[in-house]
Each structure stands twice: as C-alpha cells, then as structure tokens.
Amino acid sequence: MDVFDDLVGQEQAATVLRRAAAAAAEVLAGGRGAGMTHAWLFTGPPGSGRFDAAKAFAAALLCPDRGCGHCDACHQVMIGSHPDLESVRPQGLSYGVKQTRELILRAAGRSTMGRWRVVLFDDADRATEQAANALLKAIEEPPPRTVWLLCAPAPDDMIITIRSRCRVVTLVTPSSQAVAHALVTRDNVAPGVAESVARAAQGDLARARRLALDESARGRREAVLSIPKSLTNVGECIAAAEKLVKTADEDAAAATAELNETEIAELRAIYGEGSTGKGLNKGLVRGGAGALKELETAQKSRATRIKRESLDTALLDLMAFYRDVLAVQFGAPVELANGDRRAELEAAARASRPEETLKRTQAIMQCRERLAANVNPQIAVEALTLALWKPVG
C-alpha cells in the first residue's frame, strides 16, 4: 500500500507517478533520474481526482520512502502542513498576478527537509493572463529542487507556453463500479446506495460521497430532476428558473457566511480594532480600510464561484437526465445515471422525439456557456427552462 493506492480508478496514472517518484529519488541520490521533471500538469474531468493525484505525488516526492502513506511526511502532506509544500487552491473566480508573484517568492525558498520544494497549484487555469505569464517565467527558470504541480481540467486550459514545459498526467473518469467500491470500503456506505449514487454522480467520487452522506444534497438533486415534468407553461418555466437560482444563492451564502465573518474579524484585529491607546485604534483601522475592501472583493468573487458551481451541478444533473432519455429513445445498452427513475425516463422518451431531446441537451450546454461568460444567471436559466419546455431551432 502507498499513497497512489487511494487514487480511485486511476491505475495508469498511478503507475506513471510511481515511476516518476523513483526517478526523483534517483536525482536526490545524485543520479540522472530520467522521467523526473520540475513541472507537471495534472488534467482530468471534474471528479477524476486530479488534485488528489497531485497531492499523492507531492507526498511521494517528500517522503523518504516514495509515498509510503504512513510516515510523518506523508501525513503532513495530506493535511497540508508539510514545511516544504506550498498548496494553493484559488477561492475566487480568478487568481491574480499579485498573488502569483507572492507564490513564486515563497516557492523560491530552500527545502527545509533537504528533499524537494513542492508547489501544488489547484485550478491553475484560473490564473489571469498576467498571472500565467509570471508563472511561466518561474517554470522556465525554477530554483534547484523546486517542483511545480499544476492542476487544470484539460491541457488546453493552460497557455501553450506553460503546458509545453510541463509533463502532462491525464486522469480519466472513474467507473461507477470503482466509485461504489470506494464508498463501501472507505465510508461504510451500503452497497445498494453506493451503486445508485455512483451512477448518479457519473464517476465524480466527491459528488457521490456527498449524495451518499448528505441528505440535503440528495434533496437538491431530486428537486432538479423534478423540473422536466413540471415545465407545462411559461409561468412554471419562470418559477423553476427562480428556484434554481435561489437555491444556488442559498448554497453560496451557507458556504461563505461564517468564513466571511471570521476573515473580517481577523483582519480588523490585525489592523488594531479594539486596541487601546490615544489615536491607536482609529489610525490603524483607517490604515486597514484598503485591505478590508480587498478582502470583501475576494469574498464576493468566492461567493460568485460557489453559486456558479451550484448551478453547474444542477445543469449537469439535467444533462444526465436528458442523456438517459436519449439512450432510452435509441434503445442504447448503456448504464443510466438515473436508472432508479426508469418510469420517468420512459415517459419522457415517449413524449418527445430524439431530435427534441438533443436540442434540450444543446440548450443546457448553451446555458453553461452563458453562465461562464457572466450572463445574468436568472436570464440564462429562464432561457434554458423555456427551451426545455418547448425546444426550438
């Protein structure tokens, strides 16, 4: 057993990373270490575990035993406390050049433990153009024994000059069987439930775990899947859109409210709120006004990202529903994400033609593109529900 055994359904990637870890150990011993490089790009669809794979590789680089999974170094990497690991997960919609330059400065430090200095950058595709150019310079001329591990959905999400300097590790969507097995063995989920949520999550282990363990997540999914049969007139379409957007707003508020308050309280404390002494409190708080405004901007960006992710999850559930309808219409022998709703799928299949189902899936993809382009969510989702009711074009 090692850290790579925990990568669900990624046997091929695990083999590549084990060999790279062996090459890294050879470099530390003074050898050539063919197969080891200073920049890596982990790509894969949502739920494939690209961040987990990169973290496992970081553990293998920093562990004296190539990622044994049980030593102090592996444990520190997994909880994010290893002194030679710099882990970044952007909270907002983008990652700016100022943040990137600060990250590069931190990455330039020497290794504390005498092995590697590892920078793990999740969602590196969120780097702005200026940030990406700054990152490129750091990757082109890295300090000795500094390793960059970048994560992005696809190689094309990174500028070509960055991806050409990285070794790409491609992860795949795990099978529903692999996801179900992980839920049963790791989370003690009942086999029947594990199989159902694994199909519903379409290979996304994190989503499957939420569906298995979080009743509210299951409730939100059920509400989304009830939308197609509820769209009987314009009023119902508008109401369904309002409900989807409102739910996304509530998800964002629930996920950020407590964290926002904590961050603001900590920042005010740093700038002296509550301090005593003539002129001390007032002056320091005034000096921190710019920092407070910057924090509030970042918090709004984080809330927007969470709202978008919530809406996108709902859209993917709708996409899976209509994909299943299309499969039923053609009699395709494929696994249905919503096999437990077979009667609904067959009813929808009888009530429409395959061409209409295809137009509905295209409308969902168009809505996702509009949301990514900052179109007002209410307008984008209303257009979608109207298209799901009566597809045109």
Of 28-42, 50-64, 316-330, 338-352, where does mean pLDDT reach its minimum? Answer: 28-42
Residue 35: predicted pLDDT? 77
**Are 249 and 372 in the same domain?**
yes
Written as six digits, the tokens of 343 are: 């009667």
In order, the DSSP letters of 229-282 are: HH--SHHHHHHHHHHHHHHHHHHHHHHHHHHHHHHHHHHHHHTTTT--STTHHH
Share of the chain above pLDDT 70, in %: 95
Higher pLDDT, 366 or 258: 366
Residue 360, domain member (yes or no): yes
- Which domain does 155 fall in, by range? 10-170
Evaluate if residue 271 carries a pLDDT over 90: no
Higher pLDDT, 200 or 267: 200
pLDDT band at 280 (very low <50, low <70, confident <90, very high): very low
Q: Mean pLDDT across the stretch 198-212?
A: 91
How far apart (Å, rounded) are the C-alpha atoms in residues 366 and 357? 14
**Are 240 and 375 in the same domain?**
yes
Residue 225, domain member (yes or no): no
How far apart (Å, rounded) are the C-alpha atoms in residues 296 and 263? 10
Query: In a 3-state reduction of DSSP, which class is residue 52?
Result: helix
> Measured in Å, how far apart are the chain's first and last C-alpha atoms?
55
Domains identified in the chain, total number? 3
**Are 307 and 361 in the same domain?**
yes
Q: Mean pLDDT across the stretch 5-33?
A: 92
Residue 270: predicted pLDDT? 73
**Are 156 and 181 in the same domain?**
no
By the 8 A CB rule, do 125 and 131 touch? no
Evaluate if residue 290 carries a pLDDT over 90: no
Q: How many CB atoms lie within 10 A of CB 257?
A: 11
How far apart (Å, rounded) are the C-alpha atoms in residues 27 and 9? 29
Higher pLDDT, 46 or 337: 337
Evaluate if residue 151 carries a pLDDT over 60: yes
Evaluate if residue 241 carries a pLDDT over 90: yes
Render pLDDT for 73-100 as a digit per residue (tens, 0 to 9): 999 999 999 999 999 988 888 899 999 9
Residue 282, domain member (yes or no): no
**Are 69 and 20 in the same domain?**
yes
**Are 381 and 238 in the same domain?**
yes
Q: Mean pLDDT across the stretch 354-379?
A: 95
